[in-house]
Amino acid sequence: MMVSFDYKSAVTTLHELRKSGERKSDLVVTLGENLIHQGYAGKLGDEVWAVYEQIFIAALDLGNDQLAIKCLENLDKRFPESPRVKILKGMKLEAEDKLDAALALYEDILKDDDANIAAIKRRIAVFKAKGQDQQAIEALTRYLDAFYSDSESWLELSALYLNFHLYQQAGFCLEELILLQPQNHFYHLKYAEILYTSDNITMSLKEFCRVVELCEDNVRALCGIKLCTSRLLNLPISAITSSSSSTNSPFDMKTISDLNALAVERLSTIYSKKRRGGSSANEITDWLNNLS
């Protein structure tokens, strides 16, 4: 495929990947190796440093140490004191499993500039790599307290909380995410699942309904509706009224059974449409029959 290496398209591809933040490390490394080994690096002008950084991270991902070292040397020569390069060095240390050294490096950077986002995030990553999830949570909450609008970090925090089965806290994070991006059905879906896990079935059912409203025929949400409604239908009546008194609009039995039927209907049409061999369609019908 790379018989005649196209310099221009390589550069634009790298540029686009940098802008979109995608992490296609293998692609970046192949392109980068060609760029560097065929002596195109000098042609790039000032862009070369960003390209080096990108190739360096990709090379670390793939364990291509030679390439990584080469990029890092070049960057280090050009920007000897830059905190950004220091962070790259820290990542190298992390890749070599020298976590404590990396941590020390990041904390050194943070001493000078306590608002260095990259350093804060790397530090949290080191905590995670060391298995010190609690410290990671603490650092992440402090980070989010300042950089409130970073939705990926909220997601990360909720994942960390879920590791500890702290569903209420994880739910809190998801609520923040919903506030930040109310139209993103994925956050609603995750929130619904967390609510379901923490046994708040009525709320969970509402959130699952919201997902289906935002993203039609979302299979995960339809399954969720099915699960919730089946559980509610199987509960004794008194239990429903007592549990739903905490939420604002109690469900009546008819709504629940209607939703149940709706979910079954949508799921069976989706799976019969897909023609993905008979097995998955059969499985889902079996599952549906078992639940009700």
> Least distance in Å: CB of 86 to another protein?
15
Helix, strand, coil content of the chain in percent (nearest 5): 80, 0, 20
Q: Which is nearer to another protein, 111 or 276 (CB)?
A: 111
* Residue 196 host element (H or E): helix 185-197
Q: What is the Cα–Cα distance from 173 to 175, expressed in whole angstroms?
A: 5
C-alpha separations of 51 from 40, 124, 168 in Å: 12, 25, 42
The total of other beta-carbon atoms located within 10 Å of residue 279's CB is 8
Q: Which is nearer to another protein, 248 or 289 (CB)?
A: 248
> Least distance in Å: CB of 182 to another protein?
4
> Least distance in Å: CB of 125 to another protein?
18
Residue type, 12: T
> Least distance in Å: CB of 201 to another protein?
13
> Least distance in Å: CB of 9 to another protein?
25
Which residue blocks in 63-184 are alpha helix, DSSP H? 65-78, 83-95, 99-112, 117-129, 133-146, 151-163, 167-180
Q: Which is nearer to another protein, 56 or 191 (CB)?
A: 191
Write the DSSP symbol of residue 82.
-
Q: Which is nearer to another protein, 54 or 169 (CB)?
A: 169
Q: Which residues bind another protein (CB under 8 A)?
A: 113-115, 137, 141, 145-149, 157, 168-169, 172, 175, 178-180, 182, 203, 205-207, 209-210, 212-213, 247-249, 251, 255, 258-259, 261-262, 266
Q: Which is nearer to another protein, 256 or 281 (CB)?
A: 256
Look-up: residue for tokens 């994942």?
159
